[in-house]
Structure 1
Amino acid sequence: MKKITNWKLWAKCAGIRAVKTVAQTAISVIGVSAVLSDVNWVAVASASVLSGVLSLLTSVAGLPEISEE
């Protein structure tokens, strides 16, 4: 695991990645409902938040968007 030296860049890249992951999870959970009125919004929110947290934790191991200088 490489050492993080630029925290602002890491936070920006990790945040962007987490937001994309949250959006993808929300879309997939919403997509399993037959109609929009059947969407379990609590499940959408909890699954999306959990995926965002996991994305941030995974980003600690390294981000390919940040090249070594």
Structure 2
Amino acid sequence: MKNRDWIEWIRKAGIRAVKTMAQTAVAMLPAVATISQVDWLTVIGTAALAGVVSILTSLAGLPELNTATK
């Protein structure tokens, strides 16, 4: 794999991981809780773990890289 391909993979996998982390963080916030009642350490830890899992899943392949323009 060329260096340029790795950079593109890192960029796309990173975008996917950040989106996953944001979705996880939002899902962890209960609808009835006030901001002061949220256990932020748990939210951040769970979101970070989701980001790691997303990167590991991306190792199997990213559909975003399988385009016909290559």
Normalising by the smaller structure, the TM-score range is 0.7 to 0.9
Cα distance between partner residues in 2 of 1:33 and 1:9? 40
Q: How many residues align?
A: 66
- Helix, strand or coil: the match of 1:45? helix
Q: Please provide the CA RMSD for this pair.
A: 1.6
Structure 2: gaps (5+ residues): none
| TM-score normalised over the length of structure 1 | 0.84
* C-alpha distance in 1 between matches for 2:55 and 2:32: 28
Runs of 5+ consecutive residues of structure 1 not aligned to the other structure: none
Question: What does residue range 1-69 of structure 1 map to in structure 2 within 5 Å?
Answer: 5=2, 6-31=5-30, 34-67=33-66, 69=70
2:7 partner letter:
K
Q: CA separation in 1, counterparts of 2:32 and 2:43?
A: 11
Identity between Structure 1 and Structure 2 (%): 47
Q: Secondary structure at the match of 1:46?
A: helix
Give the ranges of 4+ consecutive aligned residues of structure 1 lying more than 6 Å apart after TM superposition: none
Q: Helix, strand or coil: the match of 1:65?
A: helix
